[in-house]
Amino acid sequence: MNARRWLGLSLLVAGLLCASGAYAQAQSLHKIRLTSLPGRPLPVVAAEMNGTFAKFGIQVEVNPAPNSDAMRAALAEGKANIAHAAVDNSVAMVELTGADVVIVMGGEGSLNELFVQPDIHSPAELRGRTLIVDAVNTAYALQLKKILLLNGLQAGRDYEMKPYGATPQRLVAMREHKEFAGSMLGPPASIVAKREGFVSLGSTQKLIGPYQSYGAFVQRKWASEHQDTLVGYLAAYIEAQRWLMAPTNKQTVIELMMKESKIPADVAAETYAILLEGHGGYAEDANFDLDGFKNVLKLRAEVEGQWGGHPPAPEKYYDSSYYSGALARLKGAK
């Protein structure tokens, strides 16, 4: 066999070995089905891009939901293993449908603002109007109800709430349908809304206080049966959040925001400044804000009359053991 043929055969064998190795690695990865609202969580995008999921033996399939009803259904029916959204959705699943789900990680606070049409300048002008929400009895709809209650307006009596979908859809709806007087919007939609002339009547931070918004929740049974997989996923997510928040990665993160949210560079840069450099956005290590979650429960008790107006202890809905395991695994991985 001449040298050229020998070299070709060697390269072929090496290629087959590499391919079989990659196939074996893919077969050994623990697969997780993820549902999220709205869009793909940026830490998930970063973890995929940087190979962080593979590092922790995880392969993720992401199916963003069009609205919270679809997201909650996907988790309840086992079509998804993990849900990422405002954690009040998990509380609602427990209390309104009896689902055995639990929050396992935080991630973000709430930077929502109540945005209204350009011709509106006070909450009083919302009397008799229609406001749009994702769902009328969860998360940001409760923020909206509380803000308007502070101004003497009650849902159903003084204004109508209409379910319409996730934040991006609601901004589009407000552009196209002037009869939709307002909605709760967070960045980047809130930034775009402000530039387009929509009026902010105040932020949740100022009017409601700390609020544990975005987080991860799962079915308890799945978590107990897949503890190692869940801990690995959380470890990868935390590492990705650390990468996102590292100042040295700022430009790359802005470019990711542009691609994922389909926004221009200046809007992405402002979104980065608000979410990652300001107060109340991305949480260090995707930490769960216990005080902010107590406020979530308090809001549900006040606005919806849940639990007779007296919220239970947060531990009923949050299990920190998986998150603690993820931090320990990260420490051991160094």
Query: What DSSP string describes 132-195?
Result: EES-TTSTHHHHHHHHHHTTT--BTTTBEEEE--SHHHHHHHHHH-TTEEEEEE-TTHHHHHHH
- When pLDDT is averaged across residues 24-39 and rounded to a whole number, the result is 82
Give SS3 for 330. helix
State residue 17's pLDDT score.
47
Give the pLDDT confidence of 103-114 residue by residue, as tens digits: 999 999 999 999
- Residue 322's nearest CA partner among 213, 240, 228 is 228
Q: Would you say residue 20 has pLDDT above 50?
A: no
Report the percentage of the chain scoring pLDDT > 70: 92
pLDDT class of 16 with cuts at 50, 70, 90: very low
DSSP 3-state helix, strand, coil percentages of the chain (rounded to 5)?
A: 55, 20, 25
- Residue 97 reports pLDDT greater than 60: yes
Note the pLDDT of residue 27. Answer: 54
Q: What is the pLDDT of residues 46-96, one digit of tens each?
A: 999 999 999 999 999 999 999 999 999 999 999 999 999 999 999 999 999
308-324: pLDDT as tens digits: 999 999 999 999 999 99
Asked whether the predicted pLDDT for residue 253 surpasses 50, the reply is yes
CA separation for the pair 201, 222 (Å, rounded): 42
Query: 41 — phi, psi (to 5°)?
Result: -60, 135
The confidence score (pLDDT) of residue 28 equals 85
Please say if the pLDDT value at position 331 is more than 80.
yes
First to last CA, the chain: 48
* Pick from 15-19, 163-167, 273-277: least confident: 15-19
Helix (H, G, I), strand (E, B) or coil at 61: strand
CA–CA distances in Å: residue 269 to residues 4, 194, 209, 275, 320: 54, 15, 25, 10, 33
- 44's tokens: 């998930």
> What is the pLDDT confidence band of residue 5, given thresholds at 50, 70 and 90?
low
Give yes or no for residue 22 having a pLDDT over 60.
no
Mean pLDDT in residue range 224-238 = 98
Q: What percent of the chain has pLDDT over 90?
A: 88
**What's the mean pLDDT in 12-36?**
64
| 4 pLDDT above the threshold of 60 | no
- State residue 310's pLDDT score: 96
Alpha-carbon 56 to chain mean position:
21
Q: How confident is the model at residue 332 (pLDDT cuts 50, 70, 90)?
A: confident
Q: Identify the CA nearest to 81 among candidates 209, 289, 221, 278.
A: 221
Walk me through the domains of the chain, giving residue ranges and CATH numbers. 29-109+211-333 (3.40.190.10), 113-207 (3.40.190.10)
Structure tokens at 61: 């399939």
- Burial tier of 21 (Cβ tally within 10 Å: 0-12, 13-18, 19+): exposed
Q: In whole angstroms, what is the distance from residue 92 CA to residue 75 CA?
A: 13
List, for residues 116-164, the tens digit of each pLDDT value. 999 999 999 999 999 999 999 999 999 999 999 999 999 999 999 999 9
Indicate the average pLDDT of the chain: 92
